[in-house]
A and B are shown apart, each in its own frame.
Chain A
Amino acid sequence: MPYLGGKEAVRELRRALSNPNIQSDPLRYRNVVLKVIRLKECDIWGQSEVLRVLQRYRPQSEDELFDILSLLDSSLVSPHPPIMAATLSLFLSLCSSLPAVSKAALERVRGPLLAACGSGSREMRFAALCHIQLLLRSIPGLLGEHYKRFFCSYAEPAFIKRRKMQVLVELVNDENVVMILDELKGYCTDVNDDTAQAAISAIGRIGRSYSDKSLEILTGLLGLKQDQITSAVVQTIRDLVWVCPQCSDTVSSALEGCEEVLQDCQGKQALLWLLGMYGERVSSAPYTLEVYIDGVRSETSLEMKMELLTSTMRLFLCRPAETQDMLGRLLHYCIEEEGDMCVRGQALLYYRLLHCGIEETRNVLQGQRSDPSMGVLIGRPAEPISQWVSSFNTLEPLKYCSAETEPASRGSPEHLASVLKPNTDLPDNLDCGQLQMVHSGERQLDQLTKTWCTAVPHCSPQNLHAAMQLVNIQTIAFSPSHSLPWKAHQQCSADGEPRDVSTLRAFLSVLTTVIHTLSSEMA
C-alpha cells in the first residue's frame, strides 16, 4: 500500500536533520528544508506529519528560526484546521523565548480559527471554540469585535452553548455589554435546564463588573416564579453579593417572595445565607425564616439545617425582638430532638456563645460579609502562553470545563477553596488548664488564642476536617480560609466529665497528634 504524499518528504527531512554536514552548512540546510517543505504537494495528512516531525528540531540560530517561520507562514492561515493548529503549535514551541512573535502568530490565526467556529461540522466548531478559550487566556482582547460569532444557535447541543457562553463572558467590554447581556437573557429561559443555569451564572459573572445591569436582569427573572430559574438566580445573587457588597440594597428588595418558589436544597441554602447576612434590610426575613424553622423536623438535608441555624442567629443579632422566640424553638429542637451530631453540636455551640454574651456572639458570627478580592472580571492579568501551550492541539482543552465554571453546589461562600497558610510550630506549653477555664465560661478566649498559635498544617481545611473525622472529632464551624488567626470549633464526645483533666489531656493529645501528622505529611 503506497503512502503517497508525505512519506518521502518525512524521510528526507529526518535524514537531513540528523546529518551534521548539512546542519553545519546553512545554505545546504536551507535547500534541504526548502525541498522538504514542498507542502503543497502533500495532502493534509502528509503536511500534518511533516509539521509534527519539525517540532523535534531546535533551530541553531535566530536566522534559521525566522527562515522556518517564513517558510511555514502560509500554513499558519490554512483553511484546513488540522494544518493551522499544527503550524501554530510548532510556532509557539519554536518561539517560546520570543513572546512578541508568539503573540503576532496568535493574532494571525484568529481568522482561520473563527472560520472553524462557523464550520459545518459541529464537532469541529467545538474543537475550535475550546482552543479559542486557550488563546483568550493570553490575549483577552483578541476577539472583542467578533463577539457576535459566539451567539448560540437555538439548535446547538448544550455542550457547545456552554462553551460559547463562557467565551462571551470573557469578551465583555463597555461597548458590547448591553448586547451580550440581552442575548444571555434570552438563553435563561431555555428548555434545557443546564443551559439556562449556565446563562444565569454567566450573567452573574458579568455582574462582577457591571452589577447594575446584571442585577436588573436577574431580579426580572425572579418574577417568573419558576423553581429552577429562581434557585439558579438566588445562588448567582449570593455569589455576586459576596464579591460586590455594594449591590446589597437591590438584592434585598428582590428577595421578597422567593421562598414560596424554591424547591431544591441549594437554592434554599443560598436564600437562607442571604437572609442571614442582609436580613435587616429585608422586611419579611423573620417570617421567611419562621416558615423554615417550623418545617425543620421534616427537613432532611444537613447543610440546610446548619445554614438555618447560622442565619437565624445572625438575624437575631440585628432583629432580636422578632426572632427571639423562633430562635429558641430552633435551638430547643436541635439540641433536644435532632439526631445528627453536627447539627446538635453547632446548636450547642451557639447556645453557649449566647450565654457568654452578645458581644462574643457578634464576634464569632458577624465575620466577613464579602470578599471583593475574589476577582473582578475585567482586568485579570493575561497568562503567559507557556501555561497552556503544551495542551494546545491535544484532546485536553476539549475534555475539561474551563476554570471559569463554578461548581453547581457550593456551600456558603465562607467555606470556599483553600489557601495555604504559613506553618507555625505547635507550642509545647499548651495548657489544659486554659481549656478548662474556657469551658467554665470565663473570658479567656483571647489568651488561649495567643498561646495556642494554631499550627495550621500545609494542607487545606478540608484535609484537616477529614483527618479530624477519622478520630471522631467533628468540626462545627470554622472561619474564612484567609483570615488569621484561623479558628475552628471542634467537638467530640468522650466518656468522663468534661472538667476532668485527664479527659481533656486525652483530647488534646489526639488533637495535637492529628495536626502533627498532617503537617509532617505535607512538609
Chain B
Amino acid sequence: MMRISQLFILSSKGDHLIYKDYRGEAGSDVVNVFYEKVTALTGDQPPVVMSHRDLHFVHVRQGGLYWVATTTEDSSPFAIIEFLNRLSALVRDYCGSLSEKAVQMNFALIYELLDEVLDYGYIQTTSSDVLKNFIQTEAVSSRPFSLFDLSNVGLFGAETQQSKVAPSSAATRPIQSSRDQGGKSEIFVDVIERMSVVIGSNGVLLKADVEGEIRVKCYMPSCSEVRMGLNEELSVGRSQLRGYGAAVRLHECSFHQAVQLDDFHSHRILRLCPSQGEQTVMQYQLSDDLPSAPPFRLFPTIERDSAGRLLMYMKLRCDLPPKSAAVSVSASIPVPRGSVSLSQELSSPDQNAELILQNRAVVWRIPRFSGGTQLSALFKVEVPGLSSASLLEVGPVGLSFELPKLTATGLQVRFLRLSPVQPGPAQRWVRYVTHSDSYIIRV
C-alpha cells in the first residue's frame, strides 16, 4: 500500500519550513540527511529519487522550495510526484502565491492542510472542494499594493467592456477557505501553450511540438456550471485529410474527469462545474503540424576576424503577425571555452547583452520584439588561442520568450457562459499565452 512516512518543505537554502511525521517510522534527522545529499552533489539538480540506507526520498521543486516525502521502495513514483505537485498547487491556491515568504506567513494553514490531505500517511484527497469544509484558518497574503487595484477605469476615464484589463495579480489572490464568502466572484481561464522547436542549420524546421493546457481558476462561492466554447472548426486527431481554410487542429487531447463531453463532439463545447482554486480542464498536444510558421528565425554569420577574435553577426527575425509582439525574448549563444570578454553593437538601447562565463554563453536580451520586424546584433568575443576548430563550439542558440495573447495552435475560447446560480455578476477573464519550452536554432 502506498504511503508517505514523513513530509517536509525546505527552502532552497535548506531552511526547515515545514515538517510533519505521519507514521513515526524514522527520526526527524531525515531532513538534514536529505539536505546533505542535495549539497553533496556538484552543483547540478539533485535527482528526484534518492535513498539513504532504508529511507527513500522523493522530491519536487515548486516555487523555489523543496517538497520532500519519504516513503517505501514500492510506492508509485507517479502517485507521489503527482501528490506533491497537487499539494503545492493547493498551497498556492490557499495562500495566493507560492514562495518561501507565503509559506512562512501561513504555517498554521499549511499544517491544517497537511492534517487533512494525509491520514497516517495515506492520501485522502487533494480537492479544494472537499477540503473547504474542513479548513478553518484564513490565509495571510502578501499581495503588494498596486495602483491598478483601485478601479477598472479604462482609457480616458471611460469605462468600456473592451478596455477592461485585470492586473496579473488578480489571479493570485487566495481562495476563501471559510464558509461565508466575501470578495468578488471571478473566474479566470488561461490557455497556456509550451512550444518546443528545433531548427536545423540550414533553416529547415526539424521539430515543432506544442503542449497546451486550459486552466480554470475559480473564485466563485458555489459550483455553478460553466460552458466553455472552443473554435468550431477544431479537429482532433491525426487524420490526413485537411479541410479548406485555417482549421485549428490538435493531435491529441485529454480532459479533466469532471468535464462533460456530450457537446464537445458536436459543437466543441465543454461543460463543467469547477471547484474553487485552480484545475486543469484540458490538455492537448500538436506535433510537427503547426498552422503558422515558427515565430523566430536566425541568420547567423560566425567567423574569426584578423585580430583573432570571434565575430558573431546575428540577425533575428520575428515572423509573428505585425500586430503582435513577443516579450522577454532572450537568446543564449554558447561560445568557446576560454572566452574572456565581450563587446557588442546592438541596435536599440533597451536591448542588452552580456557574457555569462558560468554558462559559457552570450545572453542577448530583448524586452519587446514586434512581429514582422528583425533585429541584428554584432558580438565580438575575445578568445585567447581561438582556432578554426573552436568555431564548432559556438553551439546551438537557445531562445526563450513569451508570446502574450497568442496561441501557437490557434485555439481560442469563443465564449464562456456561467449558469446564473450566484447572486451577483461574476467576472470572466480569458488569457492566452505561449511560452517557449525549448526553442533551439542550430548554427
A43 to B125, CA, bound (A): 8
Known: A45-B125, A115-B283. A189 touches B395 (CB 8 A): yes
Interface size on A, residues (CB 8 A): 63
Interface centre among B75, B78, B194, B211 (most CB of A within 10 A): B78
Query: Shortest CB–CB separation between residue B361 and chain A, in angstroms?
Result: 7
A62 to chain B, nearest CB (A): 28
Report chain A residues within 8 Å CB of B438.
151-156
A126 touches B (CB below 8 Å): yes
Is A4 on the interface with B (CB-CB < 8 A)? yes
Which stretch in B24-32, B170-178, B222-230, B251-259 binds the other chain?
B251-259
CB distance from B232 to the nearest CB of A (A): 24
Task: Give chain A residues whose Cβ lies under 8 Å from the Cβ of B395.
Answer: 186, 189-190
Q: Indicate which residue in A5, A118, A156, A398 contacts B285 across the interface (CB closer than 8 Å).
A: A118
Residue of A nearest to B73 (CB): A395
Please name the residue on chain B nearest to A152 by beta carbon.
B438
Partner of A48 from B74, B76, B334, B360 at Cβ < 8 Å: B76
Q: How far is the CA of A279 from the CA of B398 in the complex (A)?
A: 42
Distance (whole angstroms) from the CB of B365 to the closest CB of chain A? 16
Contact partners of A128 in chain B: CB under 8 A = 78
The interface stretch among A79-87, A295-303, A464-472 is A79-87
Beta-carbon contacts under 8 Å, B270-325 to A: 283, 285, 287-288
List residues of A (132-176) whose CB comes within 8 Å of B's CBs.
148-149, 151-159
Kindly provide the distance from the CB of A122 to the nearest chain B CB, expressed in whole angstroms.
8
Q: Mark A115-129, 1 if CB is under 8 A from B, else 0.
A: 110101101101110
Q: Mark A89-128, 1 if CB is under 8 A from B, else 0.
A: 0000000000000000000000100011010110110111
User: Is A213 part of the binding interface, using a Cβ–Cβ cutoff of 8 Å?
Assistant: no
A403 within 8 A of B: no
**Cβ-based interface call for B150 (8 A):** no
Residues of A within 8 A of B166 (CB): none
The CA-CA distance from A120 to B126 in the complex, in Å, is 19
| Inter-chain contact A43/B442, CB cutoff 8 Å | no
Q: Which of A166-210 contact B (CB under 8 A)?
A: 179, 182-183, 186, 189-192, 194
Q: Which of B126, B334, B387 contacts A191 (CB 8 A)?
A: B334
Known: A124-B82, A158-B45, A398-B48. A224 touches B285 (CB 8 A): no
User: What residues of A have a CB within 8 angstroms of the CB of B198 in the complex?
Assistant: 148, 151, 183
Residue picked from A1, A45, A220, A393, most chain B C-beta under 10 Å:
A45
A-chain residues with CB within 8 Å of residue B59 when the two chains form the complex? 123
Is residue B127 within 8 Å, beta carbon to beta carbon, of the partner chain?
Answer: yes
Tell me the B116-136 residues at the A interface (CB within 8 Å).
116, 119, 123-127, 130, 134
Query: Are B389 and A79 in contact, with the CB atoms below 8 A?
Result: no
In the complex, B1 has a CB within 8 A of chain A: yes
CB pair A45–B437 under 8 Å, yes or no, is no
Is B186 an interface position by the 8 A CB rule?
no
Give A211 to B79 CA distance when docked, in angstroms: 42
Main SS class of interface, B: mixed
Complexed CA–CA distance, A413 and B257 (Å): 55
CB <8 Å contact, A151 and B207: yes
When the two chains form their complex, are residues A4 and B125 in contact, meaning their CB atoms are under 8 A apart? yes
Q: Is A80 touching B389 in the complex (CB atoms < 8 A)?
A: no
Q: Could you tell me the distance between the alpha carbons of A45 and B122 in the complex, rounded to whole angstroms?
A: 9
Number of residues from B at the complex interface, CB < 8 A: 73
For the residues of A in contact with B, the DSSP-based class is helix
Contact between B78 and A127 (Cβ–Cβ < 8 Å)? yes
CA–CA, A262 to B401, complex, Å?
40
B78 adjacent to A118 (CB under 8 Å): no
* Residues from chain A with Cβ under 8 Å of B360 in the complex: 191
Q: In the complex, how many residue pairs between chain A and chain B have their CB atoms under 8 Å apart?
A: 171
B165 interface hit (Cβ, 8 Å): no
With both beta carbons as reference points, the residue of chain B lying nearest to A126 in the complex is identified as B48
Q: Is B116 in contact with A157, judged by CB distance below 8 angstroms?
A: no
A82–B387 contact, CB under 8 A?
Answer: no
Given A115-B252, A153-B196, A225-B387, A85 contacting B76 (CB threshold 8 A)? yes
Which of A3, A190, A191 is the most central at the interface, judged by chain B CB atoms within 10 Å of its CB?
A191
| Contact present for A120 and B116 (CB under 8 Å) | no
- Check A223/B252 contact, CB under 8 A, given A1-B116, A80-B82: no
B110: Cβ under 8 A from any A Cβ:
no
| Chain B positions within 8 Å of A226 at CB level | 337
Question: Complex: how many Å from CA A1 to CA B81?
Answer: 24
**Residues of A close to B332: CB separation below 8 A:** 154
Q: Is the CB of A393 within 8 A of B125?
A: no
- CB A460 to nearest CB in B, in angstroms, measures 26
Residue ID in chain B nearest A118 by CB atoms: B211
Q: Which of B53-67 contact A (CB under 8 A)?
A: 56, 58-61
| B82 pairs with A82, CB closer than 8 A | yes
Q: Is the CB of A12 closer than 8 A to any CB of chain B?
A: no
**Given A118-B211, A399-B49, A154 and B283 touching (CB < 8 A)?**
no
Look across to chain A and name the residue whose beta carbon is closest to the beta carbon of B389. A223
A399 to B58, CA, bound (A): 10
Chain B proximity of A503: nearest CB distance (Å): 48
CA distance A111 to B251 in the complex (A): 11
A40 at interface (Cβ–Cβ under 8 A)?
A: yes
Partner of B49, one of A1, A149, A398: A398
Question: Is A396 positioned at the interface, with any CB of B under 8 Å from its CB?
Answer: yes
Known: A5-B125, A124-B85, A398-B49. Is A82-B206 also a contact (CB below 8 A)?
Answer: no
A4-B125, A52-B2, A186-B442 known; A148-B209 Cβ under 8 A: yes
When the two chains form the complex, which single residue of A40, A80, A154, A157 contacts B396, counting CB atoms closer than 8 Å? A154
Contact A186 B396 (CB under 8 A): yes
Q: Let me know if A283 is at the binding interface, CB within 8 A.
A: no
Evaluate whether A189 and B76 lie within 8 angstroms (CB atoms) in the complex, with A1-B116, A79-B255, A154-B440 already known: no
Interface residue A440 (Cβ < 8 Å from any Cβ of B): no
Of all chain B residues, which has the CB nearest A3?
B124
Indicate if B392 sits at the interface (CB-CB under 8 A): yes
A4 to B130, CA, bound (A): 8
> 4 nearest interchain CB pairs?
A153-B438, A79-B254, A223-B389, A157-B45
18 A-B pairs with CB atoms under 8 Å apart are A3-B125, A84-B78, A85-B76, A111-B252, A123-B81, A124-B81, A126-B47, A149-B287, A153-B196, A155-B438, A159-B47, A183-B198, A186-B440, A194-B44, A221-B392, A225-B390, A395-B51, A395-B77
Interface residues in chain A, defined as those with a beta carbon under 8 Å from any beta carbon in chain B:
1, 3-5, 40, 43-45, 48-49, 52, 79-82, 84-86, 111, 115-116, 118, 120-121, 123-124, 126-128, 130, 148-149, 151-159, 179, 182-183, 186, 189-192, 194, 220-221, 223-226, 393-399
Give chain B's interface residues, CB within 8 Å of chain A: 1-2, 44-45, 47-51, 56, 58-61, 71, 73-79, 81-85, 116, 119, 123-127, 130, 134, 194, 196, 198, 200, 206-207, 209, 211, 213, 252, 254-255, 257, 283, 285, 287-288, 332, 334, 337, 358-361, 387, 389-390, 392-393, 395-396, 398, 400, 437-438, 440, 442
14 more A-B residue pairs beyond the given contacts A1-B119, A1-B124, with a C-beta to C-beta distance below 8 A:
A4-B130, A44-B257, A52-B1, A82-B76, A124-B82, A153-B196, A153-B440, A189-B334, A189-B393, A194-B44, A225-B389, A225-B390, A395-B49, A399-B51
